[in-house]
Structure 1
Amino acid sequence: MKGKRVGVIGGGQLAWMMGSAAPSLNIKLLVQTPSQDDPAVSRASGLVQAAIDDAEATAKLATFCDVITFENEFIDLEALQKLVQQGVCFRPSLDTLAPLLDKYHQRSYLKDIGVPVPKFNLGSSSEDITSNFGFPVVLKARRHGYDGQGTFIIKDAQALNILAQHVPIPELLVEEFIPFERELGIIAARNASGEIALYPVTETYQQNQVCHWTITPADIDDQIATKVKAIARTILEQLQVVGVLGIEFFLTADRRVLVNEIAPRTHNSGHYTLDGCHTSQFAMQLRAVTDLPLGDTNLKSGGALMVNLLGFEESASDYLEKRDRILEIPHSFVHWYGKSSRPGRKLGHATVLLDAEQMAQAPSIIKKIESIWYK
């Protein structure tokens, strides 16, 4: 690539953390985001202030950049396609993104390429869902759902009928409820030369469909880790990804590994890489999209845990006292996004590095961090 000017559609904490990696790679980062107060603006070399799905603004962003990448999926794919015809370079490409943005299309694509997924279909009627899936059952908005928004775990016919009064059932993805043993994730990267880099497999814990913590490496055997990495490699190669993917999995009691969802970008399950790996997922994204060799994905220590610091009230506080108390834990790091608080909002995250002998203590350290934060 002749230059290293990267545009990012989105200005939240993912772009903000990408901005922290840019200077060491001699990359200038420019963002398209609605508000000057969004986290990434403070670390960007330039700003196009506009909605994420404003393709005219993206055309303006492209005049300052060599390549444009993404922080989220809230884009107008059809409008951006016109920019490709004008020579704008997107990485990952729009062809890569096309089967991933709609959850039903994503599930269908994965099934077509032989990747294991839960049983799914489009919603038709309450009666059809009851007869074909039973209860509990999971219904999801096909676009724009994140952090639990647009996901409904329905336990009985009464709850399904109540949902149908508020949400058009035929517009939802319906999938079987998986009584998983644990949830897993992996960050996977590929560049234009076809080089692939896979991070360690991570265990993630979700509550109300929001990630609360991760532990890396996951406490799984080599056979399961090999399955996860083989699936990730298949997805990268089939989609011809140039960039980073966050892939979420269910691990069942009978040792099935099923793909839950794919995020075509950096992902919350990979935040531990900022402090825990030789190359963070954010530096990896920049390396991949600018044709640099991919970096070292190995852990710096025996393992790492990450705890999301979620909002629990409406407040403009920076919670400095709580953050300082977390930092008293040995080998801890806190990343604060500078947002105002509201319940459930991701305000920051804490990472703790552990040696191999300390990995068994990870759950108790997570509880300690959460007791400090939510007290």
Structure 2
Amino acid sequence: MKRVGVIGGGQLAWMMGDAAKKLGVELVVQTPSKSDPAVSIAQDTVFAAIDDAKTTEILAQKSDVITFENEFVDLEALSLLANQGVCFRPRLEALFPLLDKYHQRCYLRDLGLPVPQFLAVDGVENLAAKIEHFRFPVVLKSRRHGYDGQGTFIIQDLASLQQKLSPAANQSQFLIEEFIPFARELAVIAARSVNGEVVIYPVVETQQEQQVCRRVIAPADITLNQAEQCEAIAHTLLNSLQAVGVFGIELFLTQDGKVLVNEIAPRTHNSGHFSIDACQTSQFEQHLRAVCGLPLGNPTLHCQMAVMVNLLGYENSDSDYQSQRQQLAAIDQATVHWYGKTESRPGRKLGHVTVLLNETNQKTANHLAQTLESLWYPS
């Protein structure tokens, strides 16, 4: 039996629980709090911040291999452990180009992958000259630690940009990107094995509000050529990184039908949650298969279509929303996944619901997503 150490104890680690049981794998989790979701499914837990590499040494002693639920780690410190023979999957070298969003952009560009125009900025000095090739609005992103819309800002004019970058406003390093007036946002989950085999899940449409994913529709309503472009990007990226495990790749589909890479997550991803109920092999099982050196599973859908809606907090509360969850679960072919978090706050991911469909109809899928949200959010 393999023991897999997981850095991070949130819902992504929690969702590995069922897959671990199925594969006969034990999970050991490093996480800060006893109330974190994955504590309930772990065989053993090491309590510490996920960037506490000293504690990861204890995790390593209890594990055959270490993987990541969360990429906000101290790679320099973990490298010392890797040099002592600790096995990380994905390997640390695959994470180094990705954790800083500017370095990630440069890496993707140097691979020849299509990305928005971008520039690193570190203050207001000569700002107007530096960004003369950009048209407003622009996108301003924190280079580190941004997720779920945190650290991402749509800026409408130079004065607002100067204000945001003033030393008084923040101490962060930023990246400026051209604003892409996309037709759709897409995502694809891909996995690579220790032997270099790559499998790719169906490309999905992600519908975001305020840079937070609200809904996922699988598969996306795109052309065969566009789907092939997304798959080619995934192959190029995972093979170049020599990655092992599951990666989430967020993409833009432009108004004129081009595919651009938005961001890479070196782990299981919210856009792949539909796979638990809708695919032959969930992204969580696939990730454990990859990091344990097992053959990869079949990523195809076993239904015509699936709709996944995130259940986000909309108030400060300690309710478990039993009544709303029962209404959602009563919908035909619906499964509610509740992460067991003890408190709700606006924007917090509390769970998700996935509904399987026996037809491929974008209109039906969008209408269903609206119905699910109307049952969850107060009017």
Establish whether TM, by shorter chain, passes 0.5.
yes
Is 1:353 the equivalent of 2:351?
no
TM-score by length of 1: 0.97
Question: What is the distance in 1 between the residues matched to 2:194 and 2:144?
Answer: 28
Identity of aligned residues (%): 59
Distance in 1 separating the partners of 2:267 and 2:298: 18
Task: After TM superposition, give the deviation of residue 168 of structure 1 in Å.
Answer: 4.9
AA of the residue aligned to 1:19: G
Q: Which residue of 1 aligns with 2:328?
A: 326
What is the CA-CA distance between 1:358 and the residue it aligns to? 5.1
Q: 1:160 deviation in Å?
A: 1.5
Distance 1:167 1:239, change over 3 A: farther
Q: Sort the Cα spacing of 1:100 and 1:8 in 2 relative to 1 into closer, same or farther, 3 A.
A: same
Q: Distance in 2 between matches of 1:277 and 1:136?
A: 39
Give the aligned partner of residue 309 of structure 2.
307
Counterpart amino acid of residue 52 in structure 2: D
The residue that corresponds to 1:192 in the other structure is 194
Partner secondary structure for residue 230 of structure 2: helix
Q: 1:368 aligns with which of 364, 371, 377?
A: 371
For residue 27 of structure 2, the aligned residue among 26, 29, 32 is: 29
RMSD (CA atoms): 1.3
2: distance between equivalents of 1:146 and 1:260?
13
Match of 2:140, SS state, is strand
Give the AA of the match of 1:365.
Answer: L
Unaligned runs of 5+ in 2: none
- 4+ residue runs of structure 1 moved beyond 3 angstroms? 165-170, 357-360
Deviation at 1:173, TM superposition (A): 0.7
* CA deviation vs aligned residue, 1:84-113 (integer Å, no higher than 9, x gap): 111100000000001001000000001111
List alignment gaps of at least 5 residues for structure 1. Answer: none
The TM-score, its normalising length taken from structure 2, stands at 0.96
How many correspondences in the alignment?
373
Q: Equivalent residue for 1:342?
A: 345
* In the alignment, structure 1 residue 237 sits paired with structure 2 residue 235: no
2:277 and 2:304 mapped to 1: Cα distance?
A: 13
Question: What is residue 103 of structure 1 aligned with on the other side?
Answer: 101
In the TM superposition, 1:248-259 aligns within 5 A as 248-259=250-261
**Partner amino acid, structure 1, of 2:326:** D
Partner of 2:90 in structure 1?
92
Letter in 2 for 1:374: Y
Please list the CA deviations of residues 249-293 of structure 1 after superposition, one character each: whole Å capped at 9, or x if unmatched: 000011111000000000000000010111000000000000100
What's the CA shift for 1:157? 2.1
Code of the aligned partner of 2:25 = I
Contact 2:30 2:47 in 1 (8 A): yes
CA 1:254 to 1:358, structure 2 compared with 1: closer, same or farther past 3 Å?
closer
- Tell whether 2:66 aligns with 1:68: yes
Query: What's the CA shift for 1:357?
Result: 4.7
Q: Distance in 2 between matches of 1:128 and 1:177?
A: 18
Equivalent residue of 2:133, what SS?
helix
Q: Does structure 2 retain, via aligned residues, the 8 Å contact 1:302–1:359?
A: no
* CA–CA separation in structure 2 for the residues paired with 1:252 and 1:10: 34
Q: C-alpha displacement at 1:117, in angstroms?
A: 0.4
Q: Quote the residue 1:9 is aligned against.
A: 7
Q: What one-letter code is carried by the residue in structure 2 that aligns with 1:120? A: F
Give the aligned partner of residue 110 of structure 2: 112
Counterpart-to-counterpart distance in 1, 2:88 and 2:197:
18
**Corresponding residue of 1:155:** 156
Does the Cα contact within 8 Å between 2:221 and 2:362 map onto a contact in 1? no
